[in-house]
């Protein structure tokens, strides 16, 4: 009798724990998870696009070296290859190739264009979901930087709990560990993901650290407001940043 009761109690406890676990797993999937996956896909697409674009550039240069040299950006080269449809200058230094060879080059260019289009769709998706999830950080940092910060932190809550000094060097973990390991031989990083922000590209190199610190401070404020569902102040924070580093 006691064994039967014990078994029934165990089965009841097991079912309750299973239901609780299922509920917790279900609730753990939120906007942070979707943002992390989407920005991860963007990173993988960037790698694939860069690798295949280099292959296309080398391949197309055999046929039309003049246009390959004149077109610096990978995306513009892809567009030019598809628009030209195999046409080139009569006095081109490029080799004569068969229609079969040219069709393969065009096919590769078409595939790369599709990857570029997919990347743009992912970026648009990220912007839409982040307008609802973290509008203030989105306004201050931009869609890709905001998404990368969330990916590195793990969640909006974890990012909110980080001091501005940690936000400043997110993405520079390798450089930080190298500094901690070697001491004076390697300088501590001044910034990580934030180095991709347009403001840093507008100032002199010696001011990069100052801009990164100020930017991290503003992002820290924006994230806290977003997490606690406060009012939209992203435009104000962004304006303060731009005025300071005009």
Domain end call among 104, 133, 162 = 133
Q: Is the pLDDT of residue 62 over 70?
A: yes
Question: Which among 57, 161, 177 has a CA at the least distance from the CA of 108?
Answer: 57
At 13-38, the pLDDT tens digits run: 666 665 654 555 554 457 899 999 99
The answer to whether position 5 is within a domain reads no
Q: Is the pLDDT of residue 2 over 60?
A: no
Q: What is the CATH number of the domain that holds 153?
A: 1.10.246.90
Task: Give the pLDDT score at 163.
Answer: 96
Percent residues over pLDDT 70 in the chain: 84
Question: Do 242 and 139 fall into the same domain?
Answer: yes
Question: Do 96 and 140 fall into the same domain?
Answer: no
Tell me the backbone φ, ψ of residue 65, rounded to 5 degrees: -65, -30
Cβ atoms of 62 and 41 closer than 8 Å: no
Task: Give the pLDDT score at 88.
Answer: 83
Question: Do 156 and 93 fall into the same domain?
Answer: no
pLDDT class of 156 with cuts at 50, 70, 90 = very high
Of the two residues 189 and 71, the one the predictor is more confident about is 71
Question: Do 189 and 117 fall into the same domain?
Answer: no
The answer to whether position 12 is within a domain reads no
Task: Give the pLDDT score at 18.
Answer: 53
Question: Do 121 and 42 fall into the same domain?
Answer: yes
Q: What is the CATH number of the domain that holds 120?
A: 1.10.287.4070
Cβ atoms of 37 and 96 closer than 8 Å: no
Integer Cα distance of 113 and 74 in angstroms: 10
Domain end call among 99, 114, 133 = 133
Question: Do 145 and 242 fall into the same domain?
Answer: yes
The answer to whether position 104 is within a domain reads yes
Question: Do 116 and 138 fall into the same domain?
Answer: no
Range of weakest confidence among 119-123, 156-160, 175-179: 175-179
What mean pLDDT is reported for the chain? 87
Question: Do 57 and 69 fall into the same domain?
Answer: yes
Question: Which among 207, 216, 208, 237 has a CA at the least distance from the CA of 165?
Answer: 216
Length, in residues, of the chain? 246
pLDDT class of 87 with cuts at 50, 70, 90 = confident
The answer to whether position 9 is within a domain reads no
The residue segments making up the domain with residue 109 are: 30-133
At 188-229, the pLDDT tens digits run: 677 889 999 999 888 888 888 899 999 999 999 999 999 999
Task: Give the pLDDT score at 245.
Answer: 85
Question: Do 212 and 154 fall into the same domain?
Answer: yes
The answer to whether position 46 is within a domain reads yes
Cβ atoms of 216 and 164 closer than 8 Å: yes
Integer Cα distance of 229 and 86 in angstroms: 55
Residue 64 burial (CB < 10 Å; 0-12/13-18/19+)? buried
Integer Cα distance of 13 and 103 in angstroms: 65
The answer to whether position 17 is within a domain reads no
């Amino acid at each position: 009798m006691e064994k039967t009761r014990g078994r029934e109690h165990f089965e009841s406890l097991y079912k309750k724990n299973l239901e609780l676990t299922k509920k917790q797993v279900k609730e753990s999937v939120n906007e942070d998870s979707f943002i992390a996956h989407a920005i991860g896909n963007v990173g993988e697409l960037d790698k694939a696009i860069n690798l295949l674009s280099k292959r296309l550039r080398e391949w197309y240069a055999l046929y039309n070296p003049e246009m390959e040299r004149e077109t610096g950006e990978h995306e513009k080269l892809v567009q030019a290859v598809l628009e030209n449809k195999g046409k080139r200058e009569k006095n081109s230094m490029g080799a004569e190739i068969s229609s079969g060879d040219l069709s393969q080059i065009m096919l590769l260019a078409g595939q790369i264009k599709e990857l570029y289009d997919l990347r743009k769709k992912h970026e648009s998706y990220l912007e839409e979901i982040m307008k609802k999830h973290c509008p203030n950080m989105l306004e201050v940092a931009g869609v890709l930087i905001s998404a990368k910060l969330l990916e590195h932190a793990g969640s909006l809550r974890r990012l909110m709990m980080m001091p501005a000094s940690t936000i400043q060097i997110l993405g520079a973990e390798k450089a930080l560990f190298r500094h901690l390991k070697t001491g004076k031989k390697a300088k501590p990083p001044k910034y990580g993901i934030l180095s991709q922000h347009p403001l840093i590209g507008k100032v002199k190199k010696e001011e990069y650290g100052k801009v990164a610190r100020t930017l991290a401070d503003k992002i820290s404020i924006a994230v806290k407001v977003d997490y606690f569902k406060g009012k939209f102040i992203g435009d104000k924070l962004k304006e303060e940043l731009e005025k300071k580093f005009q």
